[in-house]
Amino acid sequence: MEIIVALGIAVLTGSGVWLILRPRTFQVIVGLSLLSYGVNLFIFVMGWVRGGAAPFVSTGHAPDPASFADPLPQALVLTAIVIAFATTALLLVVLLAARGLTGTDHVDGREPDQ
Amino acid sequence: MSQLAQHLIILPILVPLLAGALLLVIDEPRHKLKASVSVAAVLLLLVAAGTLVARADAPVTHVYSLGAWAAPMGIVLVADRLAALMVLLTAVLGLAALVFALARWHRAGPQFHALFQFLLAGLSGAFLTGDLFNLFVFFELLLAASYGLALHGSGAPRVRASLHYIVINLAASLLFLVGVSLLYGMAGTLNMADLAVRLPRLAAEDRSLLEVGAATLAVAFLVKAGMWPLGFWLPATYTSSSAPAAALFCILSKVGIYALVRVWFVVFSEGPGAELIAYGGMATLVFGIVGMLGSQDLGRIASFSLVISSGTLLATIGVGGADVIAPALFYLVTSTLGTAALFLLVELIERSRAPGANLLAVTADAFNVDDDAEPQELVGVLIPATMAVLGLAFAFAALQIAGLPPLPGFLAKFSMMARVLDPPGVSAGAWVLLALVMLSGLAAVIALGRAGVRIFWADSGRTAPRVRLIEILPVAGLMAVCLVLTVFAGPAMDYLHEAGDALQPPANYIGEVLRSP
């Protein structure tokens, strides 16, 4: 199970890094999205991959950390998803504005051979 | 009354946040109403921050548990001397930039005031939080607002620079998340005080992963701080953004340094990596010196002076460790004020080059701003002898940035170097740092002197710009704060020494946070 999750994160992150190093703005934005998926999965598994454990602790006695799933990474991931979503939308607007103002979709705002 | 005083800590976050939300729903044409809400909020922030500083200057650290959940489980805000000081600096810069913007910039695009308030809220939150994930959230809040402000006024150069700025900061934020989650995975907490307690107890085999997390986090902070080679975005973005935005952005790069100092000293008790920060800071200094000497444009010179101030701070903290925190903080405050004043001045001075104010022409079309925007410029109290006043102010800012005697920039650099060169620990690094800091002062004198001669003495057919009283007042105000800091350098340094002592060792901080109800 761990190896599958790790490979998934690696593929997402690797593709994301490759894409944000590309010269076209659309590739960059897709790369950033992929990266953020990879990072979100990464946060998620930092609470450890564990099946059959509830994210609740019964009151009365001290909780045994081995027997319950940690709910906090899920809260962190949710926050990270919302923030990444909002900033990606913002970046998309800037990308369109840059395309309109400079007439090219190159990240530097001009074609390299000009 | 003490009940109310307890909630003081959250005011610097709530006031701008609520004001920003209110400003969003006020219609765009009602400039006066928007401006008054915005100014009122910043004034309230200034009062709250001042009270916070006065209250923080006590042996106890003030802790505020959000939702009354106790510390390791709940999220806390902590107002120690350092955090309170940074919030006050934010408020002072915010007031200056806002008053400056009232002259005309706030009408150059939509929602200037709301973005401005959200940026202030994010800054205050980042300084006050005692929790790493909350730090991330406030970082994102201030960055999202800063993306909008960097674009304020629009135009191709701004959009182009902002595109790079946004992409780089988004990537850095992802690194921040990776670092935070690694720390959480290893230590099981994100509360800074709790982390500081748990890290030394960690098993040896977990330490390497932990250090990877810490390093990733540091890279994220250093991107914001603009350390070479992570800071190439900084000059382009700051040069192209509008003057009030750039003035407020001066503290943005300091947020990275603040976060680095906070996490490095409180959580890791000066863990490994001091040399890297020192060398990185020195490389940043070199980059800043070269860039400054190579710049013709006054805006670029101002941006590179910001790079130099980041480099000086990083190198000094890296070389000197906990001993130099107090003078380094003094330098942080004074250099931020000086650079912000220069950014505001640059816009006023550059106006003399293009009397038609080409900036508003583009945006007035793009955003349907009323056509009377341009004639409005001439209304209001104009100051007499414009060039003389601007020249004096420019000389003042140049002296402050170069760190020459009568101004606090000199006091700050002198006390930093005095600490670094304190006999028992003089290393080769300290001498290199001393040379670089002096070189950076020389470079600032040359670059700013050259620009000043060209603008004020050479007859280049410039017409004297029209400058309104409301535009020069914030610059004068920032300089007055610098002068006050020179006269009262003693009490200021006492406060900063206390702030530094509380950071390292952080026993008091940790005790107060974990003990809080």
Domain ranges across chain A:
2-49+70-102
Q: Does the distance separating the beta carbons of A91 and B167 come in below 8 Å?
A: yes
Sign of the alpha-carbon dihedral angle for B271, B275, B278, B283: negative
Quick check: is B185 in a domain?
yes
Q: What is the pLDDT of residues B33-42, one digit of tens each?
A: 888 888 999 9
pLDDT band at B377 (very low <50, low <70, confident <90, very high): very low
Q: In this structure, how many other beta carbons lie within 10 angstroms of the beta carbon of residue B410?
A: 18
Residue B132: its chain A contacts at CB < 8 A?
Answer: none
Neighbours of B507 (CB within 10 A): 10
Q: What local confidence, expressed as pLDDT, does residue B513 receive?
A: 80
How far is it, in rounded angstroms, from Cα B187 to Cα B206?
A: 9
Please check whether residue B366 lies inside any domain of the structure: no
Structure-token pair, residue A15: 């593709």
pLDDT of residue B372: 40
* Residue B465 DSSP label: P
Q: From residue B79, how far is each of B84, B147, B201, B299, B508 by CA, in Å?
A: 6, 27, 27, 35, 13
Residue B279 lies in a domain: yes
Mean pLDDT for B99-105 is: 84
In this prediction, residues B52-61 reach a mean pLDDT of 78
The class level of CATH for A2-49+70-102 reads mainly alpha
Interval B235-259: pLDDT, tens = 888 888 888 888 888 898 899 999 9
Confidence bin at B17 (pLDDT 50/70/90)? very high
Look at residue B173 and tell me if it is in a domain: yes
CA of B184 vs chain A CAs: smallest distance (Å): 7
User: Do B133 and A76 make contact, defined as CB atoms within 8 angstroms?
Assistant: yes
Interface test with B, best of A32, A94, A95 (most B CBs within 10 A): A94
Q: What percent of chain B has pLDDT over 70?
A: 90
pLDDT at A31: 93
pLDDT of residue B101: 87
Residues from chain B that touch A25, judged by Cβ atoms under 8 A, are: 163
Q: Which among B143, B170, B182 has the least Cβ separation from residue A46? A: B182
- Greater confidence (A34 vs A67) lies with A34
Contact assessment for residue B189 and residue B71, using Cβ atoms and an 8 Å cutoff: no
Indicate whether B27 pLDDT > 90. Answer: no
Sign of the dihedral through C-alpha B280, B282, B283, B289: positive
A109 CB neighbours in chain B (<8 A) are 156, 159-160, 163
User: Which pLDDT belongs to residue B112?
Assistant: 86
Round to whole Å and give the CA distance between B67 and B512.
17
Instruction: Tell me what the mean pLDDT of segment B377-406 comes to.
Output: 76
Structure tokens at B511: 């005790």
- Closest residue, chain B, to A42 (C-alpha): B178
d(CA B261, CA B186): 21
Helix, strand, coil % over all residues of chain B, rounded to 5: 80, 5, 20
| pLDDT tier, B88 (very low <50, low <70, confident <90, very high otherwise) | very high
Question: Rounded mean pLDDT of chain B?
Answer: 83
Residue pair B116/B15 in contact by the 8 Å Cβ criterion = no
Confidence check: pLDDT of B360 > 50: no
Alpha helix segments (H runs only) across B57-155: 81-103, 112-128, 132-151
Taking only Cα atoms into account, the Rg of chain A, rounded to an integer number of angstroms, comes to 20
Instruction: State mean pLDDT over B132-152.
Output: 89
The rounded percent of chain B whose pLDDT value lies above 90 is: 18
DSSP code at position A58: -
3-class DSSP assignment, residue B453: helix
* Higher-confidence position of A46 and A42: A42
Q: Cβ contacts (< 8 Å) between A86 and chain B: which residues?
A: 144
B-interface mutation test, from A2, A77, A101, A111, most B Cβ less than 10 A away: A101
Of the two residues B14 and A62, the one the predictor is more confident about is: B14
Give the pLDDT band of residue B93 (cuts 50, 70, 90).
Answer: very high
Cβ neighbours of B14 (radius 10 Å): 16
Report whether pLDDT(B153) > 80: no
Tell me the shortest Cα–Cα distance from B151 to chain A, in angstroms.
9
Residue B363 has pLDDT above 70, yes or no: no
Domain span at residue B94 reads 2-354+378-515
pLDDT of residue A64: 66
* Residue B112: closest CA among B155, B161, B153, B160: B153
Statement: residue B464 has pLDDT above 80: no
Judge whether B319 and B232 are in contact, CB under 8 Å: no
Ranges B156-160, B218-222, B282-286, B458-462: which has the least confidence: B458-462
CB contact (8 A) between residue B166 and residue A108:
no
A35–B174: do the CB atoms touch at under 8 Å?
yes
Q: How far is A102 from chain B (nearest CA, A)?
A: 6
- Quick: pLDDT tens for B378-387: 455 666 677 7
- Going by their DSSP bridges, the two strands B62-65 and B76-79 should be labelled as antiparallel
Residue of A nearest to B175 (CA): A39
Q: Which two tokens stand for residue B291?
A: 């860039």
In angstroms, what separates the C-alpha of B199 from chain A's closest C-alpha? 17
Q: Which amino acid, residue A29?
A: I
- What ipTM was predicted for this assembly? 0.89
- On chain A, the residues whose CB falls within 8 A of the CB of B156 are 101-102, 109
Per DSSP, the residues of B189-206 read --BHHHHHHHGGGS-HHH
> Contacts of residue A46 in chain B, CB cutoff 8 Å?
181-182, 184-185
Residue A84 near residue B159 (C-beta atoms within 8 A) = no
On the question of pLDDT at B397 being above 90, the answer is: no
Residue for token pair 């620990």: B425
Chain A interface with B: residues with Cβ < 8 Å = 20, 25, 28, 32, 35-36, 39, 42-43, 46-48, 72-73, 76, 79-80, 83-84, 86-88, 90-91, 94-95, 97-98, 101-102, 107-109
Taking CA atoms, what residue in B is nearest to A106? B160
Contact B270, B323 (CB under 8 A): no
Shortest Cα distance, chain A CAs vs residue B508, angstroms: 28
Number of Cα atoms under 13 Å in the Cβ half of residue A97 = 21
Residue B396 has pLDDT above 80, yes or no: yes
Mean pLDDT on B261-268: 84
B411-431 confidence digits (pLDDT tens):
888 888 888 887 665 677 788
**What confidence tens digit (pLDDT) does each residue in B287-326 have?**
999 998 888 888 888 899 999 999 999 988 888 877 888 8
Stretch A33-47: mean pLDDT: 88
Cβ-Cβ contacts under 8 Å, B160 against chain A = 98, 101-102, 108-109
Residue B109 pLDDT greater than 80, yes or no: no
Banded pLDDT at B356 (limits 50, 70, 90): very low
- The helix (run of H) or strand (run of E) holding residue B77 is strand B76-79
A105: part of which helix (H) or strand (E)?
none
Phi, psi dihedral angles at B468 (to 5 degrees): -90, 155
pLDDT at B92 > cutoff 90: yes
Contacts of residue B88, defined as CB under 8 A and 6 or more positions apart, other chains included, come to B46, B49, B50, B52, B53
Residues 6 or more apart whose CB falls under 8 angstroms from that of B82 comprise B258, B261, B262, B329, B499, B502, B503
Number of domains in chain B: 1
Nearest to A75 by CA among A67, A83, A87: A83
Contact B181 A95 (CB under 8 A): no
pLDDT at B368 over 50: no
